[in-house]
């Protein structure tokens, strides 16, 4: 009798214990909700000897760094005290079931108007590493951006020894003019927008520009110590090479996904991309330049041909006396057109472990990505057609130049069944097949404007071949997909050939990213599972190209039940 009671008791205790374990893994005990206020406002900032008002968050340039653990939630109340419409995008955050918080204007929300506010609420689910946030409205992200660092869940650790220090390195672009005026001028004239006056590291151009050395960013390090640099390319329109004099960089992550570590002296980061690198202070105590300069793949196009620097400064044993007086050592950076260095870097990336690449492809898509030229419309004056030979610049995917709606966001129109805002006929293949990377006939250069989306069923397995074109100018395009991470299973030059190139697919350990650099005059193949319902824009992250229409959107339908459906819109969602 007594024995029976005892065994019953232990079974009961066992069940209680099991319930406790199940419960605590489904609802992590330590997940936090982080509340922030972002006030978007004009702030006077002086760079390159000139002071002018730029748009900032909370007066900071770059904006505040957000730090969270995987599993935490963010509630960011954005108050717009600027004279412009604004939205904020949480670049790389999956936004599972919360597309209303994604941010691209007229895609998932109408803009927050001057005087308005909106609270972005979302949870980080299964992501670790370096992401960032930025404005997704006109060219405001030139100065409205900051880092978003996601630490592992409480109690978990990195797949590499814990670094002594961790430093966000935000690469940006500085204009002496107002960036909004720059894009407005280009929209009016149809020509190429003016290029920036400087690149920046954590908001500072550095020693190689006039009047800048006073504010140069200094990154301290101690001899023997290893630091993690979280490199983010927040530049508007330029891919950048990045290097540190006399130090090797060990690449351990990109776009908040871990990679098989490898050592290199230079990395290439496209706008929208992030790269985590470990650096060890194994050189004589001194000051070393950290530098970034352009990777420019488009031939003959104007670009900002300058170099930004920060200083890696040894502390203890310290660089003092003679050492501190010496000019920092400058790294050797590749030439601006060194495509082979850019390529060998991107082809070195491998996921840390074997990954579940989708293999039962339901949607086999082929999208061309590239520029174009529009003929001057008859009612336009020549001052409005300042593109090559009296044309206007444009850009497209599959010959559709993306036009944002203006009366409803696409997501709202979809959710509420509002007609005439978008159509669902974005083509799965190019409407005309041609030699994409050859000498393309002028008759193919002018795309059709449209607000067309491509519908995906919930859970479908998607492959997209992104094929660059040689129309007007071939160029490496950093293509960013919202709401998803994807595997980059292959890339190459020339026209994609399914027979020959499928054999190159890496279905074992391809890198997972949210932004892929489609090689100049080449292609990249990506795969993902459409497990996040909503409307998700895919676009070139060179802002000049998105302004010209290099974008499209996926409409991913709800699946079955609440957990496979988008949440209802928040009550404070801005309307048009
Ligand atoms: C662009 O550059 C041109 C030529 O230097 C200059 O005249 C124009 O004012 C600039 N535009 C803006 C918006 O700064
Ligand atoms: C820096 O100043 C010098 C001397 O005033 C001038 O010659 C040079 O053109 C300036 N460089 C830049 C990049 O503005
Ligand atoms: C350096 O900048 C600080 C503020 O950032 C300013 O107070 C100081 O006068 C500047 N020094 C020089 C030599 O320009
Ligand atoms: C860029 O600047 C470097 C160094 O100042 C120079 O050697 C190179 O020719 C320039 N390239 C272009 C395309 O202007
Ligand atoms: C890069 O540009 C330089 C001129 O600045 C040219 O001499 C060289 O051939 C170019 N290299 C490539 C790979 O296009
Ligand atoms: C040209 O005409 C179209 C309609 O035909 C109109 O929408 C557009 O505003 C006109 N543009 C200019 C610059 O007059
Ligand atoms: C512009 O016209 C010139 C002379 O007709 C021609 O050589 C050039 O290829 C044209 N450029 C474009 C982009 O059409
Ligand atoms: C929204 O704008 C589009 C394009 O201008 C127009 O066709 C449509 O009728 C508008 N919808 C509503 C409900 O006003
Ligand atoms: C490209 O094709 C056009 C028309 O077919 C021809 O005039 C031009 O010479 C060609 N350009 C090259 C670089 O082959
Ligand atoms: C794009 O569509 C326009 C209009 O139908 C056509 O003239 C052009 O040749 C097409 N270009 C391509 C690359 O399909
Ligand atoms: C701001 O957004 C509203 C829609 O919410 C739009 O009607 C207006 O044109 C936008 N203003 C600018 C300057 O883009
Ligand atoms: Cu592009």
Taking CB atoms within 8 Å and a gap of at least 24, the contacts of 342-348 are 342/239, 342/241, 342/268, 342/295, 342/297, 342/476, 342/517, 343/519, 345/264, 345/266, 345/267, 345/268, 346/268, 346/491, 346/517, 346/519, 347/491, 348/251, 348/262, 348/264
Tokens of 434: 């041609």
How many whole angstroms from 422 Cα to the centroid of ligand 6?
Answer: 21
Q: What is the pLDDT of residue 25?
A: 45
Peptide bond into 29 cis (omega under 30): no
Cα 216–Cα 219–Cα 220 angle in degrees, nearest 5: 130
**Unique residue bearing structure tokens 């193949």:** 525
Q: How far is the CA of 211 from the centre of ligand 2 (A)?
A: 9
CA distance 354 to 209: 45
Of 141, 81, 75, 136, nearest in space to 110 by CA = 136
How far is the C-alpha of 330 from the C-alpha of 554, rounded, in Å? 45
Q: Domains of the chain: which residue ranges?
A: 30-154, 160-351, 363-564
What are the distances in angstroms from CA 537 to CA 25, 167, 336? 33, 30, 30
Element (H, E) at 415: helix 410-416
Q: What's the half-sphere exposure (Cβ side, CA atoms, 13 Å) at 495?
A: 12
The three-class DSSP label of residue 542 is coil
C-beta neighbour count of 162 within 10 angstroms: 9
Q: Whose CA is nearest to atom 2 of ligand 5?
A: 337
Q: Is the CB of 298 under 6 A from ligand 5?
A: no
* Beta carbon of 181 within 6 Å of any ligand 1 atom: yes
Cβ contacts of 140 within 8 Å, gap of 6 or more: 55, 82, 84, 86, 179, 180
Best mutation site among 301, 303, 335 for ligand 5 pocket (most ligand atoms within 8 Å of CB):
335
Name the residue among 267, 219, 222 with its Cα closest to residue 240: 267
Under CATH, which number does the domain 30-154 receive? 2.60.40.420
Q: How far is the CA of 337 from the centre of ligand 4 (A)?
A: 10
Instruction: Give Cβ neighbours of residue 107 (< 8 Å, ≥ 6 apart).
Output: 404, 409, 410, 411, 482, 535, 537, 553
In this predicted structure, what is the pLDDT of residue 129?
98
Which residue has tokens 């194994």? 282
Residues 44-56: b if buried by 16+ CB within 10 A, e if exposed: ebebeeeeeebbb
The pLDDT assigned to 322 comes to: 81
Find out whether the beta carbon of 389 lies less than 6 Å from any atom of ligand 7: yes
**pLDDT at position 276:** 98
- C-alpha 466/C-alpha 58 separation (Å) is 38
- From the candidate CATH numbers 3.40.190.10, 3.30.70.1140, 3.40.50.460, 2.60.40.420, the one assigned to the domain spanning 160-351: 2.60.40.420
Top mutation candidate among 106, 420, 451 for ligand 8, by most atoms within 8 Å of CB: 420
Q: Please state the CATH superfamily assignment of the domain spanning residues 363-564 in this structure.
A: Cupredoxins -  blue copper proteins (2.60.40.420)
Q: In angstroms, how far apart are the furthest CA atoms of the chain?
A: 101
pLDDT at site 29: 52
* Backbone angles phi and psi of 208, in degrees to 5: -85, 0
- The beta-strand segments (E) located in 58-187 are 66-69, 73-80, 88-91, 117-123, 129-135, 145-151, 165-174
Element (H, E) at 11: helix 2-26
Q: Note down pLDDT in tens along the chain; length 576 residues.
A: 334 344 444 433 343 333 343 344 444 457 899 999 999 999 999 999 999 999 999 999 999 999 999 999 999 999 999 999 999 999 999 999 999 999 999 999 999 999 999 999 999 999 999 999 999 999 999 999 999 999 999 889 999 999 999 999 999 999 999 999 999 999 999 999 999 999 999 999 999 999 888 899 999 999 999 999 999 999 999 999 999 999 999 999 999 999 999 999 999 999 999 999 999 999 999 999 999 999 999 999 999 999 999 999 999 778 888 887 889 999 999 999 999 999 999 999 999 999 999 999 999 999 999 999 999 999 999 999 999 999 999 999 999 999 999 999 999 999 999 999 999 999 999 999 999 999 999 999 999 999 999 999 999 999 999 999 999 999 999 999 999 999 999 999 999 999 999 999 999 999 999 999 999 999 999 999 999 999 999 999 999 999 999 999 999 999 999 999 999 999 999 999
- Measured distance CA(406)–CA(404) in Å, rounded: 6
Contact yes or no for 523/465 (Cβ under 8 A):
yes
Of 486, 510, 515, the residue nearest 351 (C-alpha): 510
Give the number of other CB atoms < 10 A from CB of residue 66.
20
The residue assigned the tokens 């520009």 is 209
Return the pLDDT at 325. 83
Decide if 30-154 and 363-564 have a common fold: yes
Question: Could you give the CA distance from residue 69 to residue 62 in angstroms, rounded to a whole number?
Answer: 22
Identify whether the C-beta of residue 396 lies closer than 8 Å to the C-beta of residue 446. Answer: no
Q: What local confidence, expressed as pLDDT, does residue 317 receive?
A: 77
46 Cα: distance to centroid of ligand 2 (angstroms): 17
Least Cα distance to 569 among 404, 418, 405 occurs for 418
To which H or E segment does residue 345 belong? helix 339-346
pLDDT of residue 324: 79
Ligand 2 centroid to Cα of residue 292, in Å, is 20
The answer to whether 272 and 478 have CB atoms below 8 angstroms apart is: yes
Ligand 10, atom 10, lies closest to the CA of 444
What pLDDT shows up at residue 563?
96
- DSSP structural state of residue 109: B
């Amino acid at each position: 009798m007594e024995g029976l009671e005892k065994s019953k008791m232990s079974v009961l205790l066992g069940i209680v214990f099991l319930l406790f374990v199940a419960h605590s893994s489904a609802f992590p005990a330590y997940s936090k909700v982080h509340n922030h206020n972002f006030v978007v406002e004009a702030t006077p900032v002086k760079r390159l000897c000139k002071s002018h008002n730029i748009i900032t968050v909370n007066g900071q340039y770059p904006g505040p760094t957000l730090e969270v653990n995987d599993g935490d939630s963010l509630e960011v109340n954005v108050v717009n005290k600027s004279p412009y419409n604004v939205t904020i995008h949480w670049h790389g955050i999956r936004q599972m079931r919360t597309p209303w918080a994604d941010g691209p204007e007229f895609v998932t929300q109408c803009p927050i108007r001057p005087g308005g506010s909106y609270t972005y609420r979302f949870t980080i689910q299964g992501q670790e590493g370096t992401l960032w946030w930025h404005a997704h409205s006109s060219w405001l992200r030139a100065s409205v951006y900051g880092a978003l660092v996601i630490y592992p869940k409480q109690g978990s650790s990195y797949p590499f020894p814990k670094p002594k220090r961790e430093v966000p390195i935000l690469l940006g672009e500085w204009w002496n003019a107002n960036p909004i005026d720059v894009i407005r001028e280009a929209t009016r004239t149809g020509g190429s927008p003016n290029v920036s006056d400087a690149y920046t590291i954590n908001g500072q151009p550095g020693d190689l520009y006039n009047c800048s050395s006073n504010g140069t960013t200094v990154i301290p390090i101690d001899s023997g110590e290893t630091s993690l640099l979280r490199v983010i390319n927040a530049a508007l329109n330029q891919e950048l090479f990045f290097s540190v004099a006399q130090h090797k960089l060990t690449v351990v992550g990109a776009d908040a996904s871990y990679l098989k570590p490898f050592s290199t002296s230079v990395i290439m980061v496209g706008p929208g991309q992030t790269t985590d690198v470990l650096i060890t202070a194994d050189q004589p105590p001194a000051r070393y330049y950290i530098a970034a300069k352009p990777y420019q793949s488009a031939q003959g196009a104007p670009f900002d041909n300058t170099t930004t620097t920060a200083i890696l400064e040894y502390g203890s044993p310290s660089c003092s006396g003679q050492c501190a007086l010496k000019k920092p050592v400058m790294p050797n950076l590749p030439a601006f057109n060194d495509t082979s260095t850019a390529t060998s870097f991107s082809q070195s990336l491998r996921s840390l472990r074997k990954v579940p690449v989708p293999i039962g492809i339901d949607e086999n898509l082929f999208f061309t990505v590239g520029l174009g030229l529009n003929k001057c419309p008859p009612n336009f004056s020549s001052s409005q057609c300042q593109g090559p030979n009296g044309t206007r610049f444009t850009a497209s995917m599959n010959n559709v130049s993306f036009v944002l709606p203006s009366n409803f966001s696409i997501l709202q129109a979809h959710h509420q069944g509002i007609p005439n805002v978008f159509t669902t006929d974005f083509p799965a293949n190019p409407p005309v097949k041609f030699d994409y990377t050859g000498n393309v006939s002028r008759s193919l250069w002018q795309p059709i404007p449209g607000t067309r989306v491509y519908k995906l069923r919930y859970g479908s397995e998607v492959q997209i071949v992104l094929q660059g074109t040689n129309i007007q100018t071939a160029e490496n395009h950093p293509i960013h997909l919202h709401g998803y991470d994807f595997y980059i299973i292959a890339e190459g030059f020339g026209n994609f050939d399914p027979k020959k190139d499928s054999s190159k697919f890496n279905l074992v350990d391809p890198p997972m990213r949210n932004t892929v650099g489609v090689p100049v005059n080449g292609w990249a193949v990506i795969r993902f599972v459409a497990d996040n319902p909503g409307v998700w824009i895919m676009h070139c992250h060179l802002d000049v190209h998105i302004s010209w229409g290099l974008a499209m959107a996926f409409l991913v339908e709800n699946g079955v039940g609440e957990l496979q459906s988008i949440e209802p819109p928040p009550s404070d969602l801005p309307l048009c």
